[in-house]
Amino acid sequence: MAVLVTGGLGYVGSHAVKHLVDRGEQVVTLDNLIFGHTQAASGSEVVVGDIGDKDLLRQIFSKHSIDSVMHFAAFADVGESVADPKKYYVNNISNSLAMLDVMLEFGVKMMIFSSSAATFGEPEIVPIPEDHPKNPTNPYGRSKLMLEEILREYEHAYGLRAISFRYFNASGADPSGLIGEDHKPEHHLIPLILQVALGQREKISVFGSDWPTPDGTCVRDYVHVSDLAQAHLLGLDALRNGKGTTEYNLGNGNGYSVREVIAVAEEVSGKSIKSVDADRRPGDPAVLVASSEKIVKELGWEPKFPDLRTIIQTAWNWHNTHPNGYSGK
Ligand SMILES: NC(=O)c1ccc[n+]([C@@H]2O[C@H](COP(=O)([O-])OP(=O)(O)OC[C@H]3O[C@@H](n4cnc5c(N)ncnc54)[C@H](O)[C@@H]3O)[C@@H](O)[C@H]2O)c1
C-alpha cells in the first residue's frame, strides 16, 4: 500500500518522505510547489497539484493503492494569517475538506495531520500537556485546531482515524545533508540566525527582551525535523494497527531562549552573530515548551537529536553547503 504525502516537497514533509522511502514504503508526494522544492522528493513519485483539486485526487487514488495520507500541505505564517485570514481558512480548511471528501469516496480512512503548538495560545501550564486548554491567538492556530476537531467528528461519523501531531519549533536538517529547510520568505529563528552567520543578513531582531524568562527573551522548544519524521512513521504504524483518532505534542520538553539559540549558533558556526533588541510581537507567548510524555509512553517515540547543539549543527551543515537553499549553491 502507498502513502500519499501532501506538502511532501516542503520542509517537514520532505523529511517524512525521506524516512518513508528509506524504510521501503511506496510514497506518492503531492505538492503544488507554492513553497515546495522538486529536489526534495527523495525518489518518491511526485504529483504537482493542489489538495483542493478533487479530480486530480481521484486520479491519484484510482491509480495507486493508497491506505493513508500524511497531510503537511498548509500555509503556516502566523503574521500573514492575521492580515489575510481568508487565505488560511481556504487552504488549511476548505482544501483539506475537499481532500477528505475524496479520501472518503475511495475508502481511505487513515490520516496523519500536521497540527501545531499554535493551537494552545498563551499557556497556563508549562510543559504543555495535550489536554491543556486551546485558545489560539491567530487564524493560523485556529485553522489547525478546527481541522483537529473536524477529524474527531469524522472518526465518529465516518470511521476515518487520524493522528494530529502538534509540532513545537521544527528545526535542523537531515543528517545526510541532502535535504533541509528552505523557506522563502523565511520566518523561523534558526535559519534566520544562520543567514546572519553566512553574511546574508546583517543582524537578527530579538522581539522583546523584557519577557518573564531568565534572560528576558522568548523561550521555545526546538525539535529536530528528523525526530518529527520518525514520529510520523510510528503514527502510521499505530493507525495501521487500529489506533483511533488522537493528538500528540511533539517537542523535547526543553526550552531555550532566543539569546541561548544565538550563542549556540555562534559556537557551531564559529561566526559572530549580530542581534538587536526590538519590540515584543503581539500574540507571542513568553514560553512554549511541550510535554511529549504521551507519545513517548503510547508509541515509544525516542528523539535522536534532542540536544540544541546537534539541531543547530545539522541546520548549519545544510545552510553552509546550500546557502541559497535548493536553488543552487
Ligand atoms: N515548520 C514548523 O516549525 C511547523 C510547526 C508547526 C506546524 N507545522 C505544520 O507542518 C506543516 C509543514 O510545515 P513546513 O514548515 O514544512 O511548511 P512548508 O511550507 O515548507 O511545506 C508546506 C508544503 O505544502 C505545499 N502546499 C501548501 N498548500 C498546498 C496545497 N493547497 N496543495 C498542495 N500543496 C500545498 C507547499 O508548496 C509546501 O511545499 C504545515 O502544515 C505547518 O502548518 C510546521
pLDDT at 35: 97
Q: Does residue 61 contact residue 3 with C-beta atoms inside 8 Å?
A: no
Q: Does residue 10 contact residue 17 with C-beta atoms inside 8 Å?
A: no
Mutate to test the pocket of ligand 1, among 4, 6, 9, 12 (most ligand atoms within 8 A of CB): 12
For residue 59, pLDDT over 80 is answered with yes
For ligand 1, whether the C-beta of 112 sits within 6 Å is no
Residue minimizing CA distance to atom 1 of ligand 1: 170
For residue 282, pLDDT over 90 is answered with no
Residue with cell 520568505: 185
For ligand 1, whether the C-beta of 33 sits within 6 Å is yes
pLDDT at 168: 98
Q: Does residue 211 contact residue 218 with C-beta atoms inside 8 Å?
A: yes
Q: Looking at the chain, which residues constitute the CATH 3.90.25.10 domain(s)?
A: 189-220+253-321
The fold of the 189-220+253-321 domain, in CATH, is: UDP-galactose 4-epimerase; domain 1 (3.90.25)
Residue minimizing CA distance to atom 9 of ligand 1: 114
Beta bridge partners of 207: 278
pLDDT at 71: 99
For residue 237, pLDDT over 70 is answered with yes
Rounded mean pLDDT, 24-43: 98
Distance from the alpha carbon of residue 76 to the mean position of ligand 1, in angstroms? 6
Q: Where are the alpha helices (DSSP H) in the chain?
A: 11-22, 54-63, 78-83, 85-88, 96-105, 139-158, 189-197, 225-240, 258-269, 293-299, 308-321
**pTM recorded for the entire structure:** 0.98
Residue minimizing CA distance to atom 15 of ligand 1: 11
What pLDDT band is residue 20 in, cutting at 50, 70 and 90?
A: very high
Tens digits of per-residue pLDDT, 126-155? 999 999 999 999 999 999 999 999 999 999
Q: What is the CATH number of domain 2-171+223-250?
A: 3.40.50.720
Q: Looking at the chain, which residues constitute the CATH 3.40.50.720 domain(s)?
A: 2-171+223-250
For ligand 1, whether the C-beta of 119 sits within 6 Å is no
Tens digits of per-residue pLDDT, 88-114? 999 999 999 999 999 999 999 999 999
**Is there a catalytic annotation at residue 140?**
yes
Mutate to test the pocket of ligand 1, among 18, 19, 34 (most ligand atoms within 8 A of CB): 34
Rounded mean pLDDT, 239-264: 98
Residue 311 to residues 185, 201, 314: CA-CA distances in angstroms? 21, 21, 5
What pLDDT band is residue 328 in, cutting at 50, 70 and 90?
A: low
| Catalytically annotated residue among 140, 154, 167, 222 | 140
For residue 329, pLDDT over 90 is answered with no
